[in-house]
A and B are shown apart, each in its own frame.
Chain A
Amino acid sequence: MTATKLMKVALLGNPNSGKSTLFNQLTGLRQKVGNFPGVTVEKKSGKFVLQDLEIELIDFPGAYSLYPTSKDERVVVESLCNPEDENYPDAVIYVADATNLEKQLLFFHQLRDLGFPIVLVLSMLDIAMRDGLDVNIGLLEKELGVRIIAINGRSGEQTDALKKLFYQELYQANAPSTPRLAYQFSQVENAVAQQIQEIFPKINHYHALLLAHHYKWLSRLTTEQKNKIEAINQQHGFVDLKFQIRETMQRFDRFAPILPKILKISGGERSSNTEWLDRFLTHRLWGVVFFFLIMLLTFQAIYTWASYPMDWIEWVFAWSSNQLKLLLPDAWFADLLTEGILAGLGGVLVFIPQIAILFFLISILEEVGYMARAVFLFDRLMQRFGLNGRSIVALISGGACAIPAIMSTRTIANPKERLITILVTPLISCSARIPVYTVLIGFVVPAITVGGIFNAQGLVFMGLYVLGILSALISALVFKYVLKTEGYSFLMLELPEYRMPVFKNVLLTVWEKVKSFILEAGKVIMLISIVLWFLASYGPPRQMEQARAEALSLAAAENMDDDATQDLVAARQIETSFAGYLGKFIEPVIQPLGFDWKIGIALITSFAAREVFVGTMATIYSIGSSDDEYSIRDRMAKERNPITGEPIYTLGTSLALLLFYVFAMQCMSTLAVVRKETGTWKWPAIQFFYMTAMAYISALLAYQFLG
């Protein structure tokens, strides 16, 4: 069967209406995730074939009306008010939650007036009935003049039956052929709409009225058209807010009287579980305690549970790299394959467990309805720092890894608050900093006990974490005043009823996040990883050969064993590699921090990921075959300045290096994800520079005053 007709169908509805569940049910894994044109609002679409009809279903962001107050809601108006838009639908499926019908009819009513063929899907009918609510569907169909499909609950049954129904309904869906609008225009609105229709002859009366309301920001309009509409508005004294309220009130007045006939409440109103649960979950003390318990669990999950699959992934890659090395001839392409490509691929895949676990937990909390409560609890606190109630989830997850944390900011509706969250999250000390801290901390404080119970090194460790948190909050505060504010920021959040999560939705979210990370950020990580491999393994060929020969003869003279010989060769070669040259090149810049060129090499290679610092140190000090943190620390302690004979790792240098790693944006994967989430290289660049500047200045101060 081949489809002969392509139909674009918009899936619209209020937030929490069950829209996404229906979308997942209809499209399953055949979803495509992209952005709406010109904005970073996520667009999900999916295709399915119904007999001779191919339907492209577009899942629009949840909206309450055609009068948007957020970027997400604006997308809906941009697409629906522009017949040229790539997402302009041929028909609309409107999803409304049967338990809460009244306010959801407003948007439906407006869409109908806009002239789209429309089908109404009533979701959660079983929950409504369980709550003692009886919906007279036949009467509702008659009153609204629309076909209604009722679906039970939020589970994924009856998909085929549903599709068949859509096939019938979308063909039959009756567009009001004559523009008989439900909304009765006032004189002024009439005059304005009529004149606008003269400029755009193809649009209907209500569409014209919407242009009068939204012309200022609609991207389909040219400046000339905007000026014309403004003139028309002025001529008639059109005040948009006043008419918007008039329209809303009139529409509610139209359907409010018919609702008691349609919705029958039997057996009295049940006292809802939601109210009972919220007494605890949004309590000013217990609510906060519960939130931190949940976050502790989340943190524990991405920190501890994820480490097992991460170890397996690392092991598999190390093993296959070794196997390949044995199989392949000793040539540049074998190195490229094992040290460059395979290592890069491993570097991408190793993040999957953390991403999957975090989004599994977050989307359960989202599905259940808890996230809105967390926002309610922390909105005010986070607002002070220019952040959002939801930012706290990203900040806490950032303690395990900034990558899933930054990906979780998608749900922050306010663009400025989301951007600030993305910019400051990498300052929270992530798990990749731990090996670096472990190696260096011994040079800063001895392992003694203070105050009888506290381990001094443990205290410094904690201090580094606190430093990360404080710097994130202070930076957020600075960005709050530096970045420009777009429009008014609302909280105005619906606190939905608590519901059982739909696991299909949860799993699809996890799948989609993992997939988009691999496809989008993965490319950049691979590329940088290959570049870094090249820099660390290649140098001017003659010098590299010479270094190798020298190392070999020295090893022979000293009677070294195989491992030690190889370590020495590796150490000499990284010195003469391009990375080595770069390290020497940047030495004048990092000398004021107390760093020599060897540390410079580690700074360059650990741009791949902070923990690479330890491995590079091992290679440079020619103990590459051991990557135990303590043996590296012992070796570093013996390192002396060749001229003065003083130890390199003094208190000043070590503290400077520690502070550098607290603040510096030493993680290409995070930058790749920030690029993906913000849609431009501008923000990762700004982030890289401000964090490196903070790192440099604090390291400089530490070394100059203590060194």
Chain B
Amino acid sequence: MIQSVKKSICQLAPKQGGVVQSFSNDQVGSKLMTMGMLPGTSVELVRYAPFNGGCYIKAGKHYLALRRDEAQCILLEG
């Protein structure tokens, strides 16, 4: 599995950023794309929710709330 080597956005520490390379799950990916997060979009993991909850992500100019397993599907460049 090549994909498992790639870094997902969940591996970032809060306030760290990266550039979206691809999505490991097409269903999640296609939904994220309609919300403005595309391969090539620069993203930042802003913070995590309490209770071991989801991620607050800045994608381009938008702010999104994603569950961890959803965010796990966002693979970053490099």
Residues of A within 8 A of B (CB): 64-65, 67, 69, 100, 102-103, 106-107, 241-242, 244-245, 248-249, 252, 274-275, 278, 282-285, 287-288, 372, 375-381, 488, 490-496
Contacts and interface: CB of A to CB of B under 8 A. Distances in A.
7 contacts: A65-B34, A69-B31, A248-B33, A249-B38, A380-B54, A494-B63, A494-B65
B32 A376 contact: no
Q: Is the interface of B mostly helix, strand, loop or mixed?
A: mixed
Contacts of A381: 51, 53
B63 A495 contact: yes
Contacts of B12: none
The 3 closest A-B pairs by CB, nearest first: A103-B36, A380-B53, A284-B50
Contacts of B46: 275, 278
A446 to B, nearest CB: 40
B61 A493 contact: no
A494 B62 contact: yes
B56 to A, nearest CB: 6
A69 B70 CA distance: 14
Interface of B: 26-36, 38-39, 46-54, 56, 60-67, 70
Nearest to B61: A100
B62 to A, nearest CB: 6
Nearest to A383: B67
Contacts of B30: 67, 241, 244-245, 248
A375 B50 contact: no
Contact of A490 (B49, B61, B63, B70): B70
Given A103-B62, A241-B26, A377 B35 contact: no
Contacts of A102: 36, 60
B67 A245 contact: no
A483 to B, nearest CB: 20
B1 to A, nearest CB: 19
A493 B65 contact: yes
B54 A64 contact: no
B62 A106 contact: no
A347 B36 CA distance: 49
A278 B70 contact: no
Contact of A491 (B33, B62, B66): B66
Nearest to B53: A380
B65 A375 contact: yes
Contacts of B61: 100
A106 B30 CA distance: 12
A242 B36 CA distance: 18
Contacts of B49: 282, 284, 376-377, 379-380
A376 B35 contact: no
Contact of B65 (A244, A274, A285, A379): A379
Contact of B26 (A107, A245, A493, A494): A245
Contact of B31 (A103, A274, A492, A496): A492
Contacts of A287: 50
B34 A288 contact: no
B9 to A, nearest CB: 13
A337 B77 CA distance: 75
A379 B67 contact: yes
Contacts of B63: 274, 278, 494-496
